[in-house]
């Protein structure tokens, strides 16, 4: 199992995970995706849309001259889901992010964020 497959499998082990993707925000392409059997998600399309969010957030931070501040994660809280984006900073691929869709009723958001940090720390590309 390569690094991408292992990272996505680990992400899907998070309680309430509906889908996970590793995405290159320069191109908007998903390097890999996983979707739970119960979920009806087009993660490829969603991942491409999330690239716009990551780019806009980075542009905003640049405009605000926040210096050494980095985006740890970006959260969209919907009524039934959490969409969590984690730009990767500890890998060779600085233009990558992990994207995780979670069932809001089954997820502990703090634990999900903790697991994504752990996945990032062990990800080998």
pLDDT tens digits, 85-101: 999 986 565 789 999 99
Q: How many CB atoms neighbour CB 10 within 10 A?
A: 18
Structure tokens at 61: 């931070």
42 has pLDDT over 60: yes
Q: Which pLDDT value is given to residue 61?
A: 87
Euclidean distance between CA atoms 99 and 46, whole angstroms: 9
Mean pLDDT of 65-78: 88
Q: 14, 111 in Cβ contact below 8 A?
A: yes
The H-assigned helical ranges of the chain are 3-12, 43-63, 109-122
Structure tokens at 97: 């992010």
21 has pLDDT over 90: yes
The pTM (predicted TM-score) of the whole model is 0.91
């Amino acid at each position: 199992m390569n690094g991408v497959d292992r990272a996505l499998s680990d992400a899907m082990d998070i309680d309430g995970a509906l889908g996970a993707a590793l995405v290159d925000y320069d191109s908007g392409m998903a390097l890999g995706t996983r979707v739970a059997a119960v979920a009806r998600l087009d993660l490829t399309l969603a991942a491409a849309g999330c690239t716009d969010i990551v780019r806009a957030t980075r542009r905003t931070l640049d405009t605000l001259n926040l210096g050494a501040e980095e985006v740890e994660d970006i959260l969209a809280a919907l009524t039934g889901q959490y969409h969590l984006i984690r730009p990767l900073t500890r890998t060779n691929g600085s233009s990558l992010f992990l994207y995780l869709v979670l069932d809001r009723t089954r997820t502990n958001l703090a634990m999900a964020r903790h697991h994504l940090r752990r996945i990032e720390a062990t990800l080998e590309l």
